[in-house]
Amino acid sequence: MNKLTIVLVVSLFGACATQHAAKWDEKVTVTGAVDAQAMGDADTAWGLRKDPTKLAEAIAKWEGIAANTSDAELFTKLSRAYYFQAERYGFEDKTAERDAAYQKGLDWATRGLKLAAPEFAKSMAEGKTHAESIGKAPKEAIGPMYWYATNLGKWAALKGFATRLRYKDDIKATIDLVKTYDEMYFFAAPWRYLGSYEAQTAGLAGGSLDKSEENYKKAVELAPNYLGTKVLWADFLCTKRQDKTTYEKLLKEVVAANAAAIPEIEPENLLEQEKAKKLLSQIDEKF
């Protein structure tokens, strides 16, 4: 497909896309210091997040703290927490709850960026494009940048192709910057995300299945014990290639893996194992 055709398709679908209201012009109110005791209690609940009630408890406690303080790290924790909650809802096929959680994750990441990347936020508030603005975000803003992009990507996917197309370049520019700052951020997340990006945009939107595979392989090489990479690889790339053998191999490797190999992400890995089992049960539908 030539570039002119792609531009025309983007323009057509862009008019139909849902837009996320980031409200970059609204300032974050600076209040008191972080309550160390309350933060400790919230962090403890987060450590037990494989129990959904503990996840909800951590979010509630962090939001209670956030009502009285402005802290980019805290806002990043909330963005990540809502993303994890949304992923749980997705596994449970709770679409409305999933959508709401991604939006909350986006809102908290936006607040985090206003604090950690004020020049980026200022540029966006002035009406400049994301592409013109994202380079103003410093390395210190890597956390809210990444969780902003991941929540936005998943939220856009729920809204449909037009919305995904509308935001794809903004998301890629953000992830590219995260990779420049730290390719190992959140267990090689930039490589993993770009693997999914290339697979999902292959064809109409200019992605490449070969580049997708390269990115997934790099993510696995750098962070072999983060199980989500192989789940995404199977779900997005193998299905596009109709590669049933690799699909089954990757997912069986995830199911057989030690979820606690990295204790700090055991809850995420346990969820990925559940996703892998579900995808294996759907193999005849997908191939």
Count the helix, strand and coil residues of the chain and give each as a percent rounded to the nearest 5. 75, 0, 25
Question: Would you give the end-to-end CA distance of the chain in angstroms?
Answer: 26
What angle do the packed helices 36-47 and 72-91 form, to 10 degrees? Answer: 20
Give the pLDDT confidence of 261-275 residue by residue, as tens digits.
Answer: 999 999 999 999 999
- pLDDT score, position 96: 96
pLDDT digits (tens, 9 = 90+) for 82-117: 999 999 999 999 999 999 999 999 999 999 999 999
Alpha-carbon torsion 223, 280, 241, 7, what sign?
A: negative
Average model confidence (pLDDT) across the chain: 92
Coil, helix or strand at residue 32: strand
For CA atoms 170, 2, 17, 207, the dihedral sign is negative
Is the pLDDT score of 26 beyond 90? no
Q: Residue 255, Cα to own-chain centre: how many angstroms?
A: 22
Instruction: Using DSSP, state whether 202 is helix, strand or coil.
Output: strand
Q: Where are the domains of the chain?
A: 183-287
So what's the pLDDT on residue 99? 97
Given a cut of 60, is residue 4 above it in pLDDT?
Answer: no
Out of 1.10.1020.10, 1.25.40.920, 1.20.1730.10, 1.10.10.10, the CATH code matching 183-287 is: 1.25.40.920
Q: Please give the structure tokens belonging to residue 29.
A: 């109110």
Would you state the pLDDT for residue 18? 67
